[in-house]
Structure 1
Amino acid sequence: MNARTRREAIRDLLRNRPVGVDELAVRFNVTASTIRRDLAVLTEAGEIVRTYGGALAPGCEEQPLHERETLAGVEKAAIAREAEKHVRQGQLLFLDAGTTVGALAARLAGWTGISVATTGLTTLNALADAEGVELIALGGVVRHISQGTVGPLTELALTRLTADAVFFSGDGITAERGVCEASAEQAAAKRRLIEQASEVFVLADASKLGRASSHWWTTLPPAWTLITDSSATEEQLAPFRALPGVTVHVAQV
């Protein structure tokens, strides 16, 4: 296979998911240096986007939180309404960073008798004046693009807490791999949130179902709940419904 054909194949492969340099080298039976040159040529042509250790298709880059707030607003509101039904008085909840979880946090502002521990600045802002909610900030390094805390301090704080339930989202979710994120730190924080919670709720609008747009993954436990919106197709939902321990709730928009 010549360089031009190989680069076309790389570009086509990246349309489906991000791919690492090592995987491409094995797939095309060339050296990692050759793949890096291919990626450099494709990047210069504007056909792909380089990431740490690999590449992805244009348009799959992580978006700043303020941009994501304008996307799927009606769907996220519906998901938040459905998620709120699973909250009980007296619970301690973990809420992750992100706009969908932030929509849930806004609905919890009127509650009393619950505690919320969060890695998300959106949730902190939504509940800062909610006198009936005990609000716990899980410290750490703030990722400006996602407005969430990550790193050793975040994970250390989570070793000192357990929650009745955790609500979180991600860049994408698949039935086979779990939830994907743009950084190893985000994936690690999610793993700790899951480990310390009795129930796990993943909030994901239809655009994230089956999407594998990032390199870093958090696997999900045998039993968890997916809350998505009614624009999700049966084809998207089928892999999740097929998992024996997974409950799927579809929020009507």
Structure 2
Amino acid sequence: MFAAERRQLILEMVRANGAVSLRELARVVQTSEVTVRRDVRALEAEGLLDRRHGGAVLPGGFTRESGFPQKSHLATAEKTAIADLAAGFVEEGEAIVVGAGTTTQELARRLARVPGLTVVTNSLLVAQALAHANRVEVVMTGGTLRGSNYALVGSGAEQSLQGLRVSKAFLSGSGLTAERGLSTSNMLSASVDRALVQAAAEVVVLADHSKLGTDTMFQTVPTDVITRLVTDEPPGHDDRAATELQALADQGVQIAVTGASGGATTTGSGGPGASGTSGGDAVPARQQRRDVPLPGPRRQVPGAAAGLRATALGEQNAGAERARVADLRRR
């Protein structure tokens, strides 16, 4: 495929979907991400699209929301891995809320195996995924059906959530930044998602790496309200996504990252309970956890610092004791 043909196809994909990851563009045009990145840079120079962390969006600074058919074919492997990991943070007998989205739909399919679970949702797709789970109770909100993402929105949905209290909220969105938090492109969806958040003690965001650094019109969840982010491992060349992850961790968000091998990298803010998991056995046994720091400036682990101080103090005391014994011998 010639460069002109390739760039035309890239432009058509972005116009159809609003936002497309470099990985998906490379797959469709059957070339490397390096070549696609060069094409995207050329199209941006012509003012035909805007580059974002790990992808391309419509020009103008904010992406528009894609419909469900387009979203369902984007980053499918990443969404599956994210859903596998996120399901490990749900315990038997919990009551949770699950928002609308293709990633949360994948999560719902895995929650069908959790006994005694109660799921409150405004998503027809989430409810459908749990419809035949006889050990899971599903509670639907009221509201008006928004056909583009099969979700119930509006005042009816928001009012049905008043007075509700659950342990966790699992949400997705169109973009996530450390500065502004989770955002979406539709005002009605954002309003219902905020009501879901107000009902939960903890907020878990599910977002693949292409959404990191992307900012859209309506803020859903401020960064300081997000308890945990579950995402996939950014490509090695995507320094900006890695930087965004570090910035989120610095603001206290616990980060759980799926690895290419199916494992999970977890890290947190360093505060109490910020180990990156909720209870040591929350991640399924089939996933091997490895606790490593995110890319960026190294931060001293409090426990390690205490150990170093104790070692230094012990050496100092031992030195003083040796000096005292030598003094006694001289006498």
Over 6 Å off, 4+ runs: none
Cα shift readout 1:61-101 (whole Å, capped 9, x = no counterpart)? 32111211111111001111110111011111100000000
Q: Which residue of structure 2 lines up, in the alignment, with residue 216 of structure 1?
A: 218
Q: Which residue of structure 1 lines up, in the alignment, with residue 157 of structure 2?
A: 154
The separation in 2 between residues aligned to 1:62 and 1:195, in whole angstroms, is 23
- The number of residues matched between the two structures is 202
Q: Does 1:57 align with 2:59?
A: yes
Q: Which residue of structure 2 lines up, in the alignment, with residue 135 of structure 1?
A: 138
Q: Does 1:246 align with 2:253?
A: yes
Match of 2:87 among 72, 84, 87: 84
Contact 1:177–1:218 under 8 Å retained in 2: no
SS of 1:202's equivalent in the other structure is strand
Contact 2:175–2:182 under 8 Å retained in 1: yes
Compute the displacement of 1:236 (Å). 3.1
SS of 1:159's equivalent in the other structure is coil
Contact 2:95–2:168 under 8 Å retained in 1: yes
The separation in 1 between residues aligned to 2:151 and 2:108, in whole angstroms, is 14
**Map of 1:18-29 to 2, 5 A cutoff?**
none
SS of 1:237's equivalent in the other structure is helix
Q: Does 1:70 align with 2:73?
A: yes
Q: Does 1:122 align with 2:125?
A: yes
Compute the displacement of 1:112 (Å). 1.5
Inter-CA distance 164–216: structure 2 relative to 1 (3 Å threshold): same
Structure possessing the higher relative contact order (Cα contacts under 8 Å, 6 or more residues apart) = 1
RMSD: 2.3
TM-score, normalization: structure 1? 0.74
The separation in 2 between residues aligned to 1:223 and 1:93, in whole angstroms, is 15
Contact 2:154–2:192 under 8 Å retained in 1: yes
- In structure 2, the gaps of 5 or more residues are 1-46, 50-57, 236-240, 261-331
Which of the pair has more CA radius of gyration? 2
Q: Which residue of structure 2 lines up, in the alignment, with residue 108 of structure 1?
A: 111
Q: Which residue of structure 2 lines up, in the alignment, with residue 27 of structure 1?
A: none
The separation in 2 between residues aligned to 1:204 and 1:64, in whole angstroms, is 17
Q: Does 1:184 align with 2:187?
A: yes
The separation in 2 between residues aligned to 1:162 and 1:71, in whole angstroms, is 33
Contact 2:205–2:226 under 8 Å retained in 1: no
Compute the displacement of 1:183 (Å). 1.8
The separation in 1 between residues aligned to 2:225 and 2:155, in whole angstroms, is 26
Compute the displacement of 1:223 (Å). 5.1
Contact 2:65–2:185 under 8 Å retained in 1: yes
Cα shift readout 1:139-169 (whole Å, capped 9, x = no counterpart)? 2111111211111111111103211100001
Contact 2:178–2:244 under 8 Å retained in 1: no
Counterpart code for 1:247: Q
- In structure 1, the gaps of 5 or more residues are 1-45, 49-55
The separation in 2 between residues aligned to 1:145 and 1:101, in whole angstroms, is 16
Match of 1:196 among 196, 199, 202: 199
Compute the displacement of 1:207 (Å). 0.4
Higher-strand-fraction structure: 1
